[in-house]
Amino acid sequence: MGVVPVVDDGAFRLRESNTIVRYLAGKHGRADLYPTELEARATTEAWMDWAATDFAIGMRPVFQGLVVKNPAYASMVDGGSKDWTAQMRVLEQHLAAAGPYVMGRHFTIGDIPVGLIVNRWFAINFQKPDFKAVSAYYDRLTERSGYRAHGRNGTP
């Protein structure tokens, strides 16, 4: 389909970031990252889907307008930042009540897409409120070498 990322696993090719993450965790039997218990698995996947939809909706015009400098998004930055802030507040309340990770005590694949959008929140310069639980989450994710390499690596 001409998109990235893509995983080429022998004769099997797969696209879509979250699907790739699910596939790799399942292939390698990483129940610590991708729970096998049905409700925990569904909730983990719900966080991934939220990151790809509601959480990303406001982020996109802010990123496109302020980082990519796409003029088509210039008038959407303010609205996008309001939407993004509202969703960031959802994450703040969740982490404060049930954290330290989106699934509670342990890092899961649900934290991967959420964490990448959180990185953009902190990496893009625009006016935003302080969210203490999200800040602590960001620092906690940074303790992971993979997140330092692919998330909090100086790029939004």
66 pLDDT more than 80: yes
Of 22, 17, 44, 24, the closest CA to residue 116 belongs to 17
- Record the pTM: 0.95
- Would you list the domain boundaries of the chain? 37-150
Q: Which two tokens stand for residue 111?
A: 């934290």
The CATH number of domain 37-150 is 1.20.1050.10 = yes
List, in sequence order, every residue forming a beta bridge with 13; answer none if it has no partner.
8
Q: What is the pLDDT of residue 104?
A: 98
Give the model confidence (pLDDT) of 106-122 as tens digits: 999 999 999 999 999 99
